[in-house]
Structure 1
Amino acid sequence: MRDRLTSLIAIALLVTLCAMSYWYSVKAELENVTHLSDLNSPDFIARDITITQFDDDGIAKAKVFAKEVEHYSDGHANAKFPEYASLNPNEAQITAKSDRATMVDGGAVIHFYNNVDIRQAATKDAPASRLLTSQLDAYPDTDTYKSDKPVALTRGEDTSHGIGMDYDNVDRTFKLRSRVQTVIQPKTVKEVERKQP
């Protein structure tokens, strides 16, 4: 779960990086153009973007895609169909996507909307997992995530549903707020019992 939510931060940061990189690349040309800033019109729009994130050794570790990014003069940005994919073959592969995202307060808050879908591939130690919701708020500075909407979490064959969630990536705590229903398959219970001393 930690890796999946960390990927949301990566999506937001990479989309922000793309937007800012594009802005600074055209800034010199825009300095000679005089115009009135309109909060309802974007400063710039970038379409069909792909950003690759590299580690310290220059090896690609993640890619972020977006159909469109709009940046506004007050510092907020909107992204359509943002997607994230991890590339490290030594870690569980993670993908995350939503229909749209909005970054506000200079990236202090990132709102993901509609069809938020975060998946982590199975490993030899853990089954595949998936988090679905219609809205997720990410707070990168505190590494916390929240939602007031229905949430579905699947881990292997086990499922949990609830209304609202809070995830703290620092404390590694995940809480469903209300109407929680969890179904643990008998196979999973037997495996846990076998692993206990």
Structure 2
Amino acid sequence: MNRLSAYFPLIIVVFLAGTTFWLERIVSNEARNGLGNKRHDPDQIVNQVSIDRFDNTGRRISRITASQLQHYPDDDTAELANPVITLTRDERPTVFSSKTAHADNASKVVVMRDTVRGNRAAGVDSAMQTLETEELTVLTDDEIARTDKPVRMTQGASTLSGIGAEWNNLSGIFTIHHEVRAVIMPKAPQP
């Protein structure tokens, strides 16, 4: 029994060395075959996230919030749950929301999906604008939102609907591309 207890530490060391050698071979084979870098697994999962962007003067120009963000390092993208994008460059903030979104960090593009809504605050001479669609691509740096899906836009009591649209937040211009239907209500007279 004394001999076995004398060799026990040596047996443990040999076992650990063998296991380490085996694991190193598996990992190096995955790297050599390109299996390790083709995986699309999140490296970060963040709950209740808020990301602010600022201009050169330090003024906030946009904010993206989400109940959850999953970042993928292989392509530097993120999946967002319940995202809200707020564009605040001018005095009339524009807010887009949806159930899910896919964000590409390199191109500063967010593709919002599932019950997409947009709101632009009312101005001195204009009513609040709202947008509803299934999918919306938001170019956050350019403050442009695009879709090729059916879209409905309202401004006050007036409505526009059609297929495909572009909303330029900086110019305030909203364009519908196809099958446009509009109901334009007159403005109430000023007292």
Cα distance in 1 for residues equivalent to 2:144 and 2:133:
16
Could you tell me which runs of 5 or more consecutive residues in structure 2 were left unpaired when the two chains were aligned.
1-27
Cα–Cα, structure 1 residues 167 and 62, in superposed 2: closer, same or farther, change >3 Å?
Answer: closer
Cα distance in 2 for residues equivalent to 1:46 and 1:87:
24
Cα distance in 1 for residues equivalent to 2:58 and 2:149:
39
Which 10-residue stretch deviates more, 57-66 or 41-50?
57-66
| Partner-residue secondary structure (3-state), 2:111 | strand
Cα deviation, residue 127, structure 1? 0.8
Which 10-residue stretch deviates more, 122-131 or 54-63?
54-63
Cα deviation, residue 95, structure 1? 2.1
Cα RMSD, aligned residues only: 3.4
Instruction: Report what 2:41 is aligned to.
Output: 41
Matched ranges for 1:142-181 at <5 A: 144-167=144-167, 174-181=174-181
| Partner-residue secondary structure (3-state), 2:178 | strand
TM-score (norm 1): 0.63
Could you tell me which runs of 5 or more consecutive residues in structure 1 were left unpaired when the two chains were aligned.
1-33
Aligned length: 156
Percent identical among aligned pairs is 26
Instruction: Report what 2:85 is aligned to.
Output: 84
Query: In the alignment, is the contact (CA less than 8 A) between 1:39 and 1:74 conserved in 2?
Result: no
Matched ranges for 1:14-93 at <5 A: 36-53=36-53, 63-72=63-72, 73-85=74-86, 91-93=91-93
Query: In the alignment, is the contact (CA less than 8 A) between 2:119 and 2:131 conserved in 1?
Result: yes
Cα deviation, residue 110, structure 1? 2.8
Instruction: Report what 1:26 is aligned to.
Output: none
Cα–Cα, structure 1 residues 66 and 37, in superposed 2: closer, same or farther, change >3 Å?
Answer: same
Cα deviation, residue 136, structure 1? 1.2
Higher helix share: 1
TM-score (norm 2): 0.65
Cα–Cα, structure 1 residues 109 and 124, in superposed 2: closer, same or farther, change >3 Å?
Answer: closer
Query: In the alignment, is the contact (CA less than 8 A) between 1:149 and 1:163 conserved in 2?
Result: yes
Cα deviation, residue 61, structure 1? 6.1
Query: In the alignment, is the contact (CA less than 8 A) between 2:164 and 2:178 conserved in 1?
Result: yes
Cα–Cα, structure 1 residues 164 and 77, in superposed 2: closer, same or farther, change >3 Å?
Answer: same
Cα–Cα, structure 1 residues 179 and 129, in superposed 2: closer, same or farther, change >3 Å?
Answer: same
Cα distance in 2 for residues equivalent to 1:38 and 1:128:
46
| Partner-residue secondary structure (3-state), 2:106 | helix
Instruction: Report what 1:6 is aligned to.
Output: none
Cα–Cα, structure 1 residues 140 and 161, in superposed 2: closer, same or farther, change >3 Å?
Answer: same
Of structures 1 and 2, the one with the larger relative CO (CA 8 A, separation 6+) is: 1
Cα deviation, residue 135, structure 1? 0.5
